[in-house]
Structure 1
Amino acid sequence: MTVTDRLAEIADIGRDAERGGYSRHLLDATDASLRDWFRRSASALGLAVEEDGDANLWAWWGAPGDGAVATGSHLDSVPGGGAYDGPLGIAAAFEAVAQLQAEGFTPPRPVAVCAFAEEEGSRFGLPCLGTRLLTGAVEPAAALVRADAAGLTLEDAWRASGRDVAAVGPDPDRVARLAAFIELHVEQGRDLEDRGIPVSTASAIIPHGRWRLEITGEGNHAGTTTMDQRADPVVAAARAVLAVQEAARARPPARGTIGKVQVVPGGTNVIASRVVAWLDLRADHDEDVRALFDAVLAGARAGVEAEGCTLVVHEESFTSRVDFDAALTARVAAALRPEFGAVPSIPTGAGHDAGILSSVVPTAMLFVRNPTGVSHAPGEGARDADCEAGARALAATLRELAGAA
């Protein structure tokens, strides 16, 4: 098989007819189908699969034990996401194992292919949920009360799926087995396309914060309420969106986005009573994100108050800057050199499970070229030849890292 063949096996799972692309979320029917595919793929390679207490999947080549080298990514998506963000890293991992097995390579160290739960945070609002729970970066009680758009809590969904709520939380013994983690991912940008090369390593993940903005006004009749008598939270939210744009543009290369908005009650002829908007901010360093947030908040408050509304802000998550393990990244780059030459090490503005795991285990990443640079959208892509190059790069990396007893 090839990486392309493996991705084709799941190409019809989770297609989103309304948004385009894919909508694949934790503990729904799509997630169950993707997990079945993971198990079948592992079984075909003779790998033993287990699920930990946090719904992360582990496919073991060799008996689980100390000094293990893990690789993988995630199977969930943003609403209407692309085909490669997450699944490419898992398909390439299985293909890398298949290539090494075909060579007759038997790793002295255990190797694990992983599929981590809810990396995007699209259902329960917490990115990298599975790795945060695994490493203790979030308390189980704080995660289990989170609710999806339908009001179902993570605890309710967990129980409905037949999983043990009591098992949710840190697994230090499992983490202690790991000597290294490598995540292969489609590049979310076009740096490699501009350089004309298929793969690279990653240097860092810039910090990332998410906030929920609740703007309250006065619901009223759209036809009988004159413009000077309104406290319209939709207008206030529009001013907040512009405040985000202004603050981020004033601080390049910072990025600010409001990409999700809920209007209550949502009638055509009704002035809304409340708007909930989700804010995403990123910049080079933690202090830059905090300063950006302060600027956004000041602008948003001014706009909200000008409309006679009120604003309440909740921080949903904050992921600090991650600089990947320099020594491990150098070993990965050296393993790639015979085929790919000297590859660059580039930063990314996207969050990854590798970033969460970096606090407890040496971690590195590989990027595969994205010809358009589009990600988190149906236009996300990667050339078939580059996907196969990524699998070869990952095989070389696993041969290097798992090949020494």
Structure 2
Amino acid sequence: MTTAIALLETLADVGVDRLRGGYSRHGFDRADAELREWFTAEATARGLDVSTDRNGNLWAWWGTPGPNAVVTGSHLDSVPGGGAFDGPLGVVAALSALDALRAEGFRPTRPLAVVVFAEEEGGRFGVPCLGSRLLAGTLDADRARNLKDADGTTLAEAVRAAGLDPRWLGPEPELVSRIGCFVELHVEQGRGLADLDAPVGVASSILAHGRWRLTFHGEGNHAGATPLADRRDPMVPAASLVLAARRVAGSVPGARATVGRLVPTPGGTNVIPSTVDVWLDARAPGDADTRHLVDDVVAAAREAAEAEGCTVTVREESYGDTVIFDGGLRDELTSLLGGAPALPTGAGHDAGVLAGRVPTAMLFVRNPTGVSHAPAEHAEPDDCEAGVAALARVLTHLAGAPC
């Protein structure tokens, strides 16, 4: 039986980012293809029946696919320069948990599957949880097909290059209807479990969160030949937006607002940009707080743009309301795991998308650094194995129950 850490180590050379550090593994790129091949080989070696749905999500079934299935898994892609655990830990833990069940002679009485969702981070096409949103029907398929990466490649082109037919992207209600419940294991993206000195926890909720793209339009010009008084520099209101996001979020309890990406065009050192694209990530405990936060930040951005003689356009790229995980399933797992703590999270997950369609739960594994979406993300081997043991216990309980 291969441990979760040993399985993670087999991925150590895939998608290494020499510039940023950590890993850059994005939907339907070369690293993603290697990861998909790896998962298919590992699942097949375990006798699982592997298939790809029309949105690029991978499914590995123990036995015949059918209704009321117990499904676990996560994703294999990353943010740019991400850590080794976010996503892959949930996949390797699922495979390791199945190994443990088989070693104990367990045979499920309900269908059991491991899923790998496509492009969860949105690192290439900008929309997070792309595979699960398409599957669940919460993302318009035509909009998805026309999403573009930084090089101008559309999602339709990318999935076609990966051997899928983009015409079939979209909701799969028949497949979703097979899922009796979904349990995702994930490294904790914060210090909640570390502060509680607990190796494993259960998710209670996810903050409302979304991404907005603000494009500031000004006048491109020469950095040395253009007096300050004659400028319409879109970088100035873009900078104001960054500060406004921090200021406004600080006034809303429990809120977060982040600018992690800013792209000036044309991007020359001695050039006043003609446009600046800024991506705002905003999160808060409720829908109203999140919307008000964004409205206040956008109002500040418009005021700063007007003062500089610029304009700004705003586009919502993705949004998810507050997720409250199924209370009955959460309490069932908390009790099953001996009173494991229940924690809210500010991070989005495929489990949060599916929560609107099927009973869904999450297990967290302690992260001693509290750092995620960065190379310092970490989980100790003993904690990873505690997560595998917890997941195995959950799957035994759920998949051993009669249909």
- TM-score range (shorter-chain normalised) is over 0.9
What is the TM-score normalised by the length of structure 1? 0.98
Question: Structure 1 CA distance, aligned partners of 2:356 and 2:56?
Answer: 20
223-232 or 367-376: bigger deviation: 223-232
Q: Deviations over 1:164-201 (max 9, x none)?
A: 12321111111111110000000000010011010000
Structure 2 partner of 1:318: 319
Partner of 1:392: 389
**Runs of 4+ displaced beyond 4 Å:** none
Are positions 1:221 and 2:218 aligned together? no
Q: Which sections of structure 2, spanning at least 5 residues, go unmatched?
A: none
Q: CA RMSD in A?
A: 0.8
- The 1-side partners of 2:255 and 2:334 are apart by 29
Q: Which amino acid aligns with 2:248?
A: A
Q: Secondary structure at the match of 2:203?
A: strand
C-alpha deviation, 1:44, in angstroms: 2.0
| Residue matched to 1:135 | 136
Q: Deviations over 1:81-133 (max 9, x none)?
A: 00000000000000000000000000111110010001011111111010111
Instruction: Return the letter of the residue paired with 1:68.
Output: A
- The answer to whether the 8 A contact 1:240-1:304 is kept is no
Matches within 5 A, 1:286-365: 286-337=287-338, 342-365=339-362
CA distance in 1, matches of 2:113, 2:77: 19
Could you say what secondary structure the match of 2:201 adopts? strand
Q: Secondary structure at the match of 1:81?
A: coil
Partners in 2 of 1:369 and 1:55 — Cα distance? 30
Aligned to 2:238: 237
Q: Distance in 2 between matches of 1:125 and 1:183?
A: 22
C-alpha distance in structure 1 between counterparts of 2:48 and 2:198, whole Å: 32
Amino acid at match of 1:168: L
> Which residue of the partner structure matches residue 248 of structure 1?
249
Q: Distance in 2 between matches of 1:158 and 1:215?
A: 31
Deviations 1:199-233 (A, max 9, x none): 00000001101100000111111111111111111
| Aligned pairs for 1:5-20 within 5 A | 5-20=6-21
The CA distance in 1 between the partners of 2:310 and 2:146, in whole Å, is: 29
Distance 1:117 1:140 in 2: 15
d(CA) in 2 for partners of 1:290, 1:226: 38
Matched residue, 1:268 = 269
**Any idea what SS the aligned residue of 2:74 has?**
strand
Percent pairwise identity: 57
Q: How many Å separate the matches in 1 of 2:140 and 2:296?
A: 30
Q: Find the aligned partners of 1:44 and 1:392 in 2 and give their Cα distance.
A: 21
Q: Measure the CA separation in 1 of the matches of 2:270 and 2:129.
A: 39
**2:89 aligned residue:** 88
Q: Residue type of the partner of 2:170?
A: G
Q: 2: CA distance between counterparts of 1:261 and 1:358?
A: 32
**Cα separation, 2, equivalents of 1:207 and 1:250:** 17
Within a 5 Å distance, the mapping from 1:21-60 to structure 2 comes to 21-60=22-61
Give unpaired runs (5+ residues) of structure 1.
none
- For residues 249-301 of structure 1, what are the alpha-carbon distances to aligned partners after superposition, in whole Å with 9 as ceiling and x for unaligned? 11122100010011111111111111001000000001110010111111111
SS of the counterpart of 1:243?
Answer: helix
Question: 1:194: which partner in 2?
Answer: 195
Mapping 1:104-115, distance limit 5 Å:
104-115=105-116
For 1:382, what is the secondary structure of its paired residue?
A: coil
Q: Which residue of 1 aligns with 2:158?
A: 157
Q: Which amino acid aligns with 1:253?
A: G
TM-score norm. by structure 2 comes to: 0.98
SS at match of 1:304: helix
Conserved in 2, the CA contact under 8 Å of 1:232 and 1:272?
A: yes
Q: Aligned-pair distance for 1:303?
A: 1.4
Please say if residues 183 and 354 of structure 1, whose CA atoms lie closer than 8 Å, have aligned partners that are also in contact.
Answer: yes
CA distance in 2, matches of 1:398, 1:330: 15
Deviation track 1:9-59 (CA, whole Å, cap 9, x = no partner) reads: 101100000000000011111011000110111122111101000000001
**2:65 equivalent in structure 1:** 64
Instruction: Please give the residue correspondences for 1:176-191 in structure 2 after superposition, counting only pairs within 5 Å.
Output: 176-191=177-192
In structure 2, the CA distance between the partners of 1:166 and 1:224, relative to structure 1 (3 Å rule), is: closer
1:374 aligns with 2:371: yes
- Answer with 262-271 or 394-403: which moved more: 262-271
Could you report, residue by residue, the CA deviation over 1:316-369 in whole angstroms, capped at 9, with x for unpaired residues?
A: 1110110000111112122212xxxx1111100000000000111100000000
User: What letter matches 1:397 in structure 2?
Assistant: V
**Cα distance in 1 for residues equivalent to 2:332 and 2:60:** 24
